[in-house]
């Protein structure tokens, strides 16, 4: 068993998969000298902290408790693509496991498909991502070495590898969606299962293709997610009622995630893991509080209860697509405005409180600044997405606009029938 685990963790296995898919290191590209200065390494890798260098100091950790500023894997290898089909396929698949997918897919599901499903998805997504992120910084297993592996992503190169949170998130989203809809909507279960497997498989393979994880990292992420889903699935129905259990429930939702973020495991060097974890937990807290506000104040209609409700999935029409995209665009614009406003205000307050120069961008990485400003920002985003955006969608003016747009689309897409009352003129 130990030999099998070592073989699955071998970087050469990842490199062979990349070569099989047509991804090769650039010719005459070798590793830089091991004696390169820290300033060179910090300049080569965007996103890797170099607070001490910015302050003109060669030793001593920054005030957030980090002991070293530059990641040990600061080498980024040039590459040559010989099969662009696999390149674009896996680059797109990798994007399905990144932040841009979740900040579009989850709100779209809430606003246009089913708020009940979005609540389930966010709940499991937050749990799985927190477990994965913390496990990374506890195990501290390195990512595949480069060379021989070609690494295509730079932002997360400073993070540890085990488990793959992309694989965990993709598996959690796809199979939570499957389990939550199988008794709620009428569709072939085999089709849903195949789509869930394909989605998670593509994301998992993309982590190998991009050189960010070993096979063991990916398999570990999938197995941990399967274990978490299996353990929590019997309690999903109970969790649906927690947001209406007590008026003090929002206090717990705020205090517990903030405590977990503030006491996140300390790494040897700065990585975006803590910031990403804070963003995820804060967004989950905001969404949960938003559902509680909707229920407590009866602001918007709540999603149907978690009873078996078999509904036929309506066919997708042009009118439905345009209306859904309109609601999505309005919601995203409002969310971005709230995010920018709250982020600027929270940073100004924290900079003033801790007497930090506003121009010092590196100060955002300090524990006492990074966690509060991200938590406040994305909690506000979650509340806005589940409360204020649906309220805007339900306003009279917005409904009238959508109704007029729907009629215009139906008239534009429906072929006009000939007027049978008009007879052709005859010439005598």
Mean pLDDT of the chain: 77
Q: 3-state DSSP call for residue 79?
A: strand
User: Does the pLDDT value for residue 292 go beyond 80?
Assistant: yes
Work out the pLDDT band at 251, boundaries 50, 70, 90: confident
Q: pLDDT > 70: what percent of the chain? A: 75
Examine the residue annotation and report whether 166 is marked as an active-site residue of this protein.
yes
**Residue 11 counted as domain residue:** no
**Residue 21 counted as domain residue:** no
Examine the residue annotation and report whether 427 is marked as an active-site residue of this protein.
no
**Which CA distances in Å does 377 have to 320, 336, 344, 355?**
32, 11, 9, 20
What is the model's pLDDT at position 301? Answer: 54
Q: Tens digits of per-residue pLDDT, 110-147? A: 888 888 888 889 989 999 999 999 998 888 888 888 77
**Residue 88 counted as domain residue:** yes
What is the model's pLDDT at position 225? Answer: 94
**Which of 50, 110, 166, 393 does the annotation list as catalytic?**
166
Higher pLDDT, 416 or 287: 287
CA nearest to 290, candidates 98, 122, 104: 122
Phi, psi dihedrals of residue 318, rounded to the nearest 5°: -65, -40
**Which of 50, 110, 213, 393 does the annotation list as catalytic?**
213
- The structure tokens listed for 396 are 């009279």
Range of the domain at 86: 79-307+316-406
Work out the pLDDT band at 193, boundaries 50, 70, 90: very high
What is the model's pLDDT at position 161? Answer: 78
What is the model's pLDDT at position 244? Answer: 64
pTM for the whole thing?
A: 0.78
In the chain, the number of structural domains is 1
**Residue 73 counted as domain residue:** no
What is the model's pLDDT at position 63? Answer: 44
**Residue 249 counted as domain residue:** yes
Q: Distance (Å, rounded) from C-alpha 45 to C-alpha 327?
A: 39
**Residue 35 counted as domain residue:** no
**Residue 346 counted as domain residue:** yes
Q: pLDDT > 90: what percent of the chain? A: 18
User: Does the pLDDT value for residue 44 go beyond 80?
Assistant: no
Cα dihedral sign for 408, 410, 413, 415? negative
Q: Does residue 272 contact residue 159 with C-beta atoms inside 8 Å?
A: yes
Q: Distance (Å, rounded) from C-alpha 402 to C-alpha 399?
A: 5
Averaged pLDDT, 307-316? 66
Pairing type for strands 79-81 and 185-186 reads unpaired
**Residue 24 counted as domain residue:** no
Work out the pLDDT band at 323, boundaries 50, 70, 90: confident
Averaged pLDDT, 139-162? 80
Indicate left, alpha or beta for 41 from its phi (over 0: left) and psi (-120 to 50: alpha): alpha
């Amino acid at each position: 068993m130990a030999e099998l685990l070592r073989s699955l963790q071998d970087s050469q296995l990842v490199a062979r998969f990349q070569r099989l898919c047509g991804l090769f290191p650039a010719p005459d590209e070798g590793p830089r000298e091991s004696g390169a200065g820290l300033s060179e390494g910090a300049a080569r890798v965007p996103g890797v902290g170099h607070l001490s260098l910015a302050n003109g100091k060669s030793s001593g950790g920054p005030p957030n408790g980090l002991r070293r500023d530059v990641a040990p894997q600061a080498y980024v290898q040039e590459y040559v693509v010989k099969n662009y089909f696999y390149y674009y396929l896996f680059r797109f698949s990798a994007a399905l496991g990144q932040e841009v997918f979740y900040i579009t897919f989850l709100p779209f599901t809430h606003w246009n498909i089913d708020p009940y499903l979005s609540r389930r998805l966010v709940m499991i997504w937050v749990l799985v991502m927190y477990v994965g992120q913390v496990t990374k910084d506890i195990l501290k297993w390195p990512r595949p070495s480069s060379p021989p592996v070609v690494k295509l992503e730079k932002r997360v190169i400073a993070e540890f590898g085990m488990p793959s949170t992309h694989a965990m998130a993709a598996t959690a989203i796809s199979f939570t969606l499957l389990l939550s809809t199988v008794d709620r909507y009428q569709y072939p279960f085999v089709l849903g299962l195949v789509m869930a497997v394909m989605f998670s498989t593509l994301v998992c393979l993309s982590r190998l293709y991009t050189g960010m994880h070993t096979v063991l990292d990916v398999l570990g992420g999938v197995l941990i997610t399967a274990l978490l889903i299996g353990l929590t699935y019997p309690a999903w129905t109970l969790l649906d009622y927690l947001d209406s259990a007590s008026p003090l429930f929002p206090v717990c939702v705020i205090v517990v995630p903030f405590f977990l973020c503030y006491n996140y495991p300390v790494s040897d060097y700065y990585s975006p893991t803590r910031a990403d974890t804070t963003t995820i937990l804060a967004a989950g807290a905001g969404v949960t509080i938003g559902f509680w506000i909707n229920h407590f104040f009866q602001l918007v209609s709540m999603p149907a209860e978690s009873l078996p409700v078999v509904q036929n999935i309506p066919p997708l029409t042009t009118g439905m697509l345009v209306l859904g995209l309109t609601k999505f665009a309005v919601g995203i614009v409002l969310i971005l405005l709230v995010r920018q406003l709250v982020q600027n205000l929270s940073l100004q307050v924290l900079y003033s409180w801790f007497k930090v120069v506003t121009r010092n961008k590196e100060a955002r990485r300090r524990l006492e600044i990074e966690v509060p400003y991200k938590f406040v920002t994305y909690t506000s985003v979650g509340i806005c997405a589940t409360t204020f955006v649906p309220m805007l969608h339900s306003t009279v003016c917005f409904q009238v606009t959508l109704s007029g747009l729907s009629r215009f689309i139906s008239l534009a897409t429906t072929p006009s029938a000939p007027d049978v009352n008009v007879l052709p003129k005859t010439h005598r």
